[in-house]
Amino acid sequence: MEKHKNLKRWIYVGAMAAALIVFVLWLFFQEDSRQKAVLKASDTEAVQTENSPGDTAEIYVHITGAVNNPGVIRLAPGSRLIDAIEKLGGLTENADTDSVNLASVLEDEDKIHIYTREETAETGAVSASGTGRVNINTASLEDLKTLPGIGDAIGKSIIDYREKNGAFKSLEDLKEVDRIGDKVFDKLKDSITL
């Protein structure tokens, strides 16, 4: 009978020890899973922070026309047109610097055409006053695309608006064109005229 009691006691102690081991292992793996979940969440946050669109480390700008080496160039955000031109080898001898604002701040995906003096005389894109600004009432699509932030779509919208409503009466009327709000207008206002 004594052996029977000892056996029951050992079974009881063994069962308790096994339960304790299972519980400890369960806690260990639970903690490990929580740590992995925290690590995965922090990794995701780090990737989202690194790739957020507002925090780009570079911008890409396309410069064409009277530049020694026209093409697409990578620049730091906040760079000016003169910075891009210098990286592309400078202006050609016949570049018309009056037709463009060399101090304008560039943004990602800008496309800017630097006119030659001959192009300026032929197109009439620059106002007769010699200010070097693009006349939004007479400019062609190509002329409009030389403006900061204006591509094919917005350029066509400007021409469509002009054909439907007649000449712009004030520069601010440009805000009536689809996709031109205050932000785009602020970039354009120093480069355009009537």
Q: Using a pLDDT cut of 70, give the percent of the chain over it.
A: 78
Per-residue pLDDT tens over the stretch 42-82: 444 444 444 444 556 899 988 988 999 999 999 999 998 89
**Sign of CA pseudo-dihedral 95, 121, 164, 189:** positive
Average pLDDT over residues 103-111: 82
pTM: 0.43
Sheet containing strand 59-65, strands side by side: 71-75, 59-65, 111-114
Average pLDDT over residues 1-11: 74
Domain boundaries 56-123, corresponding CATH code: 3.10.20.600
Q: Residue 147 above 90 pLDDT?
A: no
Instruction: Place 32 in a pLDDT band, splitting at 50, 70 and 90.
Output: low
Which superfamily does CATH assign the domain made up of 124-194 to? Photosystem II 12 kDa extrinsic protein (1.10.150.320)
Predicted local distance difference test score (pLDDT) of residue 69: 95
Mean pLDDT of the chain, nearest integer: 78
Angle at 77 between CA 44 and CA 181, to 5 degrees: 95
Q: Which residue has the higher pLDDT, 67 or 120?
A: 67
Q: What residue spans define the domains of the chain?
A: 2-53, 56-123, 124-194
Which whole-number Å values give the CA distances from 95 to 18, 65, 104, 121, 153, in the listed order? Answer: 87, 8, 17, 12, 27
Q: How far apart are CA 61 and CA 188, in angstroms?
A: 17
Predicted local distance difference test score (pLDDT) of residue 58: 92
Residue 67: closest CA among 99, 34, 44, 93: 93
Q: Which residue has the higher pLDDT, 22 or 37?
A: 22
Per-residue pLDDT tens over the stretch 149-177: 888 889 999 999 988 988 888 888 899 99
Instruction: Place 8 in a pLDDT band, splitting at 50, 70 and 90.
Output: confident
Q: Which residue has the higher pLDDT, 194 or 42?
A: 194
Predicted local distance difference test score (pLDDT) of residue 102: 83
Tokens of 88: 């592309």
Q: How far apart are CA 59 and CA 101, in angstroms?
A: 19
Angle at 72 between CA 138 and CA 154, to 5 degrees: 35
Predicted local distance difference test score (pLDDT) of residue 24: 78
Residue 41 contacts by C-beta under 8 Å, 6 or more apart in sequence? none
